[in-house]
Structure formats: structure tokens, C-alpha cells
Amino acid sequence: MQGGGNPINCGTCWKNMPPVTLIYLIITGPVSLALVISCLALSSKFNCYIFGYLSLTPYQIYQKGEVWRFFTPYFVNNSFWSIIYVLLGFFFSSVVLEKAMGSKRFGIMLAICLILNSLLCTAFQAFFGLIPGINSVTYFYNQWYDYTPIGSMPILILIQILDIRAHKRKQMMCCCFQMPVWLYIILLVVMAQLMMYPIWYGIFYNISAIIIAFAVPMKYLQVREQLPLTNAPGQAYDQNAAGRAVAPAGGDNFQFTTMNGAQTAQEKKKEAKTTKNESQWGKGGKKL
């Protein structure tokens, strides 16, 4: 049951989910699950050749022209735990941020951030993997050619940090207690790194996401003020279209069920009536 005695409606949840978040979840979940199952069937390791066609490999991008690799790593995960971790983390932050920014602006900003993250990451890999002397270390040399499936952790880091900055959060809830955002970000990055296979790969991948997330100017992270759910009795506010009220079917009996347990139109109407009566008669029933 939701706050106010209204049952949770999964259909309403999906219907009201912002489009960019919904599209990402629909694509990433099934695709990652299918790839992980396929790789387990073909090999005892997650690092199978299927992921090799989708990984962020600088050599394949710049010398073979496989430009799709700029995007595909953000839509595939290399383990079941990684799928759950990324999708849940992305969902809770992305829904709030997309509704606050608007789907169009959020989608454009996210796409640009992902491209910049790929460019910055491959720049790191080129520096350490191609410069003589530095590339004598096998780990750095392999960065230029490696096919390691590093997963979609950077998109989770990006969204979480952008949400923290956009809403100017000072604390975040984690493991049932509040912690300062700097500690939360450190824990987030550590957990993201632990999702890598093997865990010492993908360091540049995650570092690039942190840099890009903090480099986005604040003027592009401005969020709309919290919009009311109703403008007038029987009129529900369309959160995806600022300033435009829509009259739902059902008139005054319309109920808007939200994910965070907000009041319905009928509850607000009843509360307003109670407040009016108390202002005239007082809580004890005596006229003021």
C-alpha cells in the first residue's frame, strides 16, 4: 500500500516514467541479460568474443573505423550483478533528474556526456598505450588494444553525480544511513570498479566519467521547480509539459498515483475543506 491508502499501480509507474529513462532500461536490461547468458553458454569467462564487438577499444575505433564502440559499452553489462546494480542505480537517479530537467534537455545532455566520456577515455588510453617508455608496462600497452567488457558503470556514475550537482545535494542515503556526498561518490566509484572483470581494468573508463560529470557547467543543470500535481479541481498537471494543464477523463474523481506517495486530487480537496472548516469553527467545534 502507498501513503494515503492507495495501492501501488505498476501500470501507472511505467506510464509516468520519463521516456529517456524508459528507453535506456528497456534496451540495456534485455540486451545485457542475453549477452551474459550467451557468453556463459559459449565460455566459462565473461570476456567472450561477443563483448569484443561492443567494447570501447581505441585501436578498433581509430584504425578500423568501428565508431559504434563510442556508444555500445554503455548499454551492455558483463555480469548479472552488474545488470541489477546499474539498472536500479540508474533508475532512481535518472527518473528524478529527467523529470526535473525535461526529457529533451536531459537526453541531449546525456548523449553529449557519453560521447565526451568515450573521447576522454580513449585519449587516456592513447597516452598510456602508445607513448614509448610508458607503454613498456604491459598493463598500459594493452589499453590501446584491449577488448575487456568494462560494462556500463560510467553512465551510472555520470547520472548520480549530475543529479547531486543539479539538486545541490549535501548528503546521500546509502546502506540505510546518510553520508556526505564526497564519501558517497567514492563508494560509488569503488563499487563500479569492483564490477569490472577483471577489477583492475576500466580505471580510465570510470575516471573519465567523474571528470565529465563535474565539468558540465551548472547552467546546463538547472532544474525546474517542483510542479504541483493539480491546478484546479479535476485538472491534473502534466509534468512533461511545463505550464500546460490537462483535464483527465473522469473529472473530479480523477486520482493521480505517484511513485513517492503524493496526495491524490480527492485527498487535496478533502484537506482544503477541512482547513476551511477549522478556520471558521476551530478544531473544538466552537465558532471563532
CATH number of the domain where residue 22 is located = 1.20.1540.10
What pTM did the predictor assign? 0.70
Any idea which residue has 567494447 for its cell? 55
Q: What is the pLDDT of residue 246?
A: 39
Q: Which helix (H) or strand (E) holds 165?
A: helix 153-166
Q: What is the pLDDT of residue 47?
A: 52
Q: What is the DSSP string of 178-232?
A: EEEHHHHHHHHHHHHHHTSSSTTS-HHHHHHHHHHHHHS-GGGS--PPPPPSEEE
**Whether 137 and 241 share a structural domain:** no
Final residue of a structural domain among 188, 220, 252: 220
What's the structural domain count of the chain? 2
Residue 1 is assigned to a structural domain of this protein: no
* pLDDT tens digits, one per residue of 161-194: 999 999 999 988 877 788 899 999 999 888 888 8
Final residue of a structural domain among 220, 240, 270: 220
User: Which ranges of the chain have pLDDT less than 70?
Assistant: 1-13, 43-48, 148-150, 197-198, 225-288
CA distance 176 to 77: 26
Residue 273 domain boundaries: 230-281
Cell numbers linked to 12:
501507472
**Whether 139 and 272 share a structural domain:** no
**Whether 133 and 269 share a structural domain:** no
Residue 288 is assigned to a structural domain of this protein: no
